[in-house]
Structure 1
Amino acid sequence: MGDYLENGDIKSQLDRTERIKNCQKPEFSKKLLIDYYFEKVQKIKFGVYDIDNKSFDLNDDDYLGGTECSLGQIVSSKKLTRPLELKKGKPAGKGTIMISAEELKDTRVVNLEIEARSLDKKDFLGKSDPFLEFYKQSDSGPWQLVYRSEVIKNNLNPCWRRFSVPLHTFCGGDFSRPIKVHCTDYDSDGSHDLIGSFETNLSQLQKAHDGSLVEFECIHPEKKQKKKKYKNSGIVIIKSCKIEMEYSFLDYIMGGCQINFTVGIDFTGSNGDPKSPDSLHFISPNGINEYLIAIWSVGNVVQDYDTDKLFPAFGFGAQVPPNFQVSHEFALNFNPNNPYCEGVQGIVDAYRQALPQIQLYGPTNFSPIINHVARFAAQAAQQRIAAQYFILLIITDGEITDLDETRQAIVSASKLPMSVIIVGVGNADFKAMEFLDGDNGVLRSLTNEPVARDIVQFVPFRRFKNAPQEALSKTVLAEVPKQLVSYYKMQGWTPVKLPEAKKV
């Protein structure tokens, strides 16, 4: 399911839930966070899609129906049930969507580390593929899903990744509110089998800390009823449960974190001769092209978060003077010792001056420039404070040549204070870019090492050709705040200067 927030004539995708396979009554665990403004009419469209491929493009999926409403309608009703419509006023024939809203008042989060042992074997030819689901009891009585873990394949003694749930979402801030936990065996056809469950509350879970474990018997009610000697279907072990303060993007920025902005521009031959009007590097009579629009759109937003306004800018895939050897990380101003440009205008000027001096060539290699920025991010990380974060904007026209090396570079960079934004210009097939964007699954290196966190955002420029300039910047920068927060949270680093209201 995806949802779109409308602002005037601009519609942009705000977020999407996880995909639930082969299920006609899905219950989505992912919470969609939206800023609410009483003084604005915030129109929202919820769309439900049947996804049968790996593409992130919803145009490739079957639209099952949706509904349009305002955020005010959801807030005022708390729980809104609507029939699915193929388009406004045209019912989809069957199916409804239920939307509920809660105000996030508390910025604390519940951090949990959980494992299990001796779970029941559920698969005929294997063991079990267990996952956990946490439910809180709502004020009206029914259980409400608040978190669903990842699936651990073929393992009766699984150890799930550490995870966080906002305290208000987890239990409404009530430490004694009943929490029900299901341990379930995943089946690809959607017919998941319950291994067992137990009830607890946050107060009990909190007893797990500093090496003290809390254990719960996983009970299958039907087995308990039928078998006299039945004990349990395994043990779920709470290794750690901590309540911590959740810091926001603004907390880090206002606490002194600087954003370092770097641009990488594709000068491969597939762009076409810059002197030809058909080239993506051709500068039109009004002084623009898609590369310049992307630089202006993103740079004008990011520059406000950098005090010195000095931005390194690089090119790749061109033969550069004086020897005209191919380079994949040459300084746009041809000064490798000082590749910094003064402000966004400085990047634009360097780009214009470089075009007639270089020869477009190839191939399209991303890894050198990603690794270049990663070296600086690694130096910043050694300070072990939330002082610097790096954003690399890559503007490119085509397919990546060094995809395997780029995958490794991104996996390595995911452990650093760094984000990568890729803007695809022209009409090329950008499937490799979508693959790198972690929204569609967990990106892995050739050695099968997963990314530590999602750091890539890919956007094809063609979607914004007729949209206001701010629409592009809004979309490409949408994930940066949560990527920044996810890194510092992963490291356990608080803002350099704590906000007064959050000092504990």
Structure 2
Amino acid sequence: MESCHCTQAKNSEQRILDEARGIPGKKCGAIILTAEELSNCHDIVAMQFCANKLDKKDFFGKSDPFLVFYRSNEDGTFTICHKTEVVKNTLNPVWQAFTIPVRALCNGDFDRTIKVEVYDWDRDGSHDFIGEFTTNYRELSRGQSQFNVYEVLNPKKKAKKKKYINSGTVTLLSFAVETECTFLDYIRGGTQINFTVAIDFTASNGHPAQPTSLHYMNPYQLNTYAMALKAVGEIIQDYDSDKMFPALGFGAKLPPDGRISHEFALNGNPHNPYCQGIDGVMEAYYRSLKSVQLYGPTNFAPVINHVARYAASVKDGSQYFVLLILTDGVISDMAQTKESIVNAACFPMSIIIVGVGPAEFDAMEELDGDEIRISSRGRYAERDIVQFVPFRDYVDRTGNHVLSMARLAKDVLAEIPEQFLSYMKSRGIKPSPAPPPYTPPGYPLQTQL
């Protein structure tokens, strides 16, 4: 399997020894951390194993065998990298196929030892050791063959019994490798990330003329919404290729007739709600504050459905849509919002919710779905597409300065690559090849010999 895109890395190892201090003046042991540099390998291997004639370990039954895989480290130690499921009451188990990153299995080193131990599962956790064998990635890559039938050996049993042969055999049934595509592979291949900004204009934010309002029109400094929009916007705009952002507002009465809208264009043009860069969004936001009346209720579903309609029309992987919602956290259409999110999870789309102000954000945490996958009418979202970030966690005590733009950037974008990849993988969409580097006219093309 030399075609695997791994390159053997010269790994460096670092050992850190520190005393564990629990009682002043008394040593409570030591913690040793061993670190190893990971190779630049994005391949994933899928394998399946079976076993034959394993030792019988249970008094009333046969055995409940499972496998434990260990990656060898540079210092000669081993680290667990995978455990199979337990197959009950058999000496001839067939385990389910599993996938594991090649980095986790051998760190891209095809000849590094992989140790496999076979155990009989016990309810109390004192699993009985059946035996072990060793192999490596290069051997496994031969697939199902005579080279991948391994004797399971128990050293203690072998030392006690002269006629001991083995404790059974384990056979590799299948082996396949695929390259795991990264978020950047798709971006290099031309996939466009399209951000839409939606801002909460409901009355729960306070009247813009009052200093206590999150929308306070202060001529000398940014209000809370503007500060969050500028900080988060400067992070996301680097991922939007054309820097043109549709900018929407929701929950306001619009001039001239006082119509309540939950998806109005901040620039006043419903046919072309695009703003040039985050500065353009900021300008449209301030202009809207002067013309609309903050009202309510706080409905998320309309702006989610607005972006979902666009995402639903482009399912070939060429575009991915991200909706950024800035809100004070008070939500009126929870049931409809959940249904909108469940529907949107089928499309190339993610939602970032930035909580603005001091309110409790329990509803936003529920929408985030990290602990419990969001559902509506008994139907669960196909994937997690919501990331919630409370902006107050990133500003100083005065609320006027962001403490760490790097930490804010990390948390705002933390789940987007994974959500993006989950959609592409579920649809079998591969990244397009990256275009060749630009060569100025008159310069000869460079070729690698």
TM-score between the two structures when normalised by the length of structure 2: 0.70
Matched, 1:428 2:354: no
Residue aligning to 1:437: 368
SS of the equivalent of 2:405 reads helix
CA apart distance, 1:287: 4.0
**Which whole-Å deviations, capped at 9, do the CAs of 1:130-183 have from their partners, x for residues lacking one?**
99753212243332123468x8999x99857x6441x23321323343434568
Residue aligning to 1:138: 73
Kept in 1: contact 2:200–2:327 (CA 8 A): yes
Residue aligning to 2:17: 81
CA apart distance, 1:474: 4.1
Matched, 1:99 2:29: no
Residue aligning to 2:219: 285
Candidates 237, 248, 251, aligned match of 1:317:
251
Candidates 323, 326, 330, aligned match of 1:395:
326
Inter-CA distance 115–499: structure 2 relative to 1 (3 Å threshold): farther
Residue aligning to 2:190: 256
Kept in 2: contact 1:178–1:201 (CA 8 A): yes
Matched, 1:419 2:354: no
Residue aligning to 1:271: 205
Inter-CA distance 104–337: structure 2 relative to 1 (3 Å threshold): same
CA distance in 2, matches of 1:392, 1:198: 51
Q: Over aligned residue pairs, what C-alpha RMSD do you find?
A: 5.0
Where does 1:99-178 land on structure 2 (aligned, <5 Å)?
99-112=33-46, 134-147=69-82, 163-165=99-101, 167-178=102-113
Candidates 413, 429, 434, aligned match of 1:497:
434
**Which whole-Å deviations, capped at 9, do the CAs of 1:80-134 have from their partners, x for residues lacking one?**
2323458xx9799746544332223333322426598999xx9xxxxx9999753
Kept in 1: contact 2:341–2:381 (CA 8 A): no
CA distance in 2, matches of 1:184, 1:315: 60
Matched, 1:463 2:397: no
**Which whole-Å deviations, capped at 9, do the CAs of 1:470-499 have from their partners, x for residues lacking one?**
243343124434544554455341244267
CA apart distance, 1:351: 1.3
Kept in 1: contact 2:153–2:167 (CA 8 A): no
CA apart distance, 1:263: 0.8
Kept in 2: contact 1:267–1:316 (CA 8 A): yes
CA apart distance, 1:231: 8.8
Matched, 1:328 2:237: no
Where does 1:329-344 land on structure 2 (aligned, <5 Å)?
329-344=263-278
CA distance in 1, matches of 2:122, 2:356: 41
Residue aligning to 1:36: none
**Which whole-Å deviations, capped at 9, do the CAs of 1:349-389 have from their partners, x for residues lacking one?**
221122241332113x333323332332232323x4xx322
Where does 1:154-233 land on structure 2 (aligned, <5 Å)?
163-165=99-101, 167-180=102-115, 191=125, 200-203=135-138, 205-206=140-141
**Which whole-Å deviations, capped at 9, do the CAs of 1:26-82 have from their partners, x for residues lacking one?**
xxxxxxxxxxxxxxxxxxxxxxxxxxxxxxxxxxxxxxxxxxxxxxxxx97523232
CA distance in 2, matches of 1:218, 1:320: 77
SS of the equivalent of 2:358 reads coil
CA apart distance, 1:305: 3.4
CA distance in 1, matches of 2:65, 2:336: 33
Kept in 2: contact 1:205–1:241 (CA 8 A): no
Inter-CA distance 282–201: structure 2 relative to 1 (3 Å threshold): same
CA apart distance, 1:311: 0.6
SS of the equivalent of 2:37 reads coil
CA apart distance, 1:448: 5.7
Inter-CA distance 300–139: structure 2 relative to 1 (3 Å threshold): closer
Where does 1:359-374 land on structure 2 (aligned, <5 Å)?
359-363=294-298, 365-374=299-308
Kept in 2: contact 1:280–1:426 (CA 8 A): yes
Kept in 2: contact 1:407–1:443 (CA 8 A): no
Higher Cα radius of gyration:
2
Letter in 1 for 2:386: V
CA apart distance, 1:199: 5.3
CA distance in 1, matches of 2:254, 2:49: 55
Unmatched segments (≥5 aa) in structure 1:
1-74, 123-127
Letter in 2 for 1:335: N
Candidates 303, 308, 322, aligned match of 2:242:
308
Kept in 1: contact 2:67–2:117 (CA 8 A): yes
CA distance in 2, matches of 1:107, 1:261: 31
Letter in 1 for 2:389: V
CA distance in 2, matches of 1:129, 1:168: 29
Letter in 2 for 1:340: Y
SS of the equivalent of 2:313 reads helix
Unmatched segments (≥5 aa) in structure 2:
1-10, 58-62, 159-163, 397-401, 438-447
Inter-CA distance 361–195: structure 2 relative to 1 (3 Å threshold): farther
Letter in 2 for 1:493: K
